[in-house]
Amino acid sequence: MANELFVCVLNRPEAVEDVIAAFLEIGITGCTIIDSKGMGKVISQEIPIFSGFKSMFTGARESNVTIFSVMNSDMVESAIKIIEETYVSFSEPNSGIVFTLPVNRVKGLLGKIEP
């Protein structure tokens, strides 16, 4: 089976618990969650030379949550759908982003190790 690296940035960190619970319901049992911040936050508040651009980044959140998961390719659409049902559609402004990348080799996933 083909695997993909699933990366999702949620702009509402308070939604992560609901998303993870929904993942478990559809059979996604492993992911890594990190606190993150976007470029708009850094530019508007942490780099003094760009402080004048603060109004350009009014949608910049204090923090985001980034979810990483290596999953079977056949689970990707379900994962995106469950996030959009639980969290918000990615077509909404400032909602976040989701993307995948092909994974050529995986070691350490019990019962799912690819050659």
Residue 81 CB neighbour total at 10 angstroms: 12
* pLDDT of 45 higher than 90: no
Q: Give domain status of residue 84, yes or no.
A: yes
- Full domain range(s) for residue 18: 3-103
Looking at the 3D structure of the chain, how many domains does it have? 1
Decide which of 70 and 46 is more confident. Answer: 70
DSSP-derived secondary structure for 14-37:
GGHHHHHHHHHHHT----EEEEE-
**pLDDT tens for each residue of 64-74:** 999 999 999 99
Tell me, what's the pLDDT at 109?
76
* Local structure of residue 115 (DSSP, 8 states): -
Asked if the structure places residue 72 within a domain, the reply is yes
Residue 110 lies in a domain: no
Residues whose CB falls within 8 Å of the CB of residue 13, separated by 6 or more in sequence, listed in order: 35, 63, 64, 65
Looking up residue 67, the CATH number of its domain turns out to be 3.30.70.120
- Domain membership of residue 113 (yes or no) is no
Does the reported pTM lie above 0.95? no
41 occurs within a structural domain? yes
**Domain for residue 85, yes or no?**
yes
The answer to whether the CB of 50 falls within 8 A of the CB of 21 is: no
Would residue 111 count as lying in a domain? no
Residue 112 located in a structural domain? no
**CA–CA distance from 92 to each of 20, 36, 82, 87, 103 (Å)?**
21, 20, 16, 11, 29
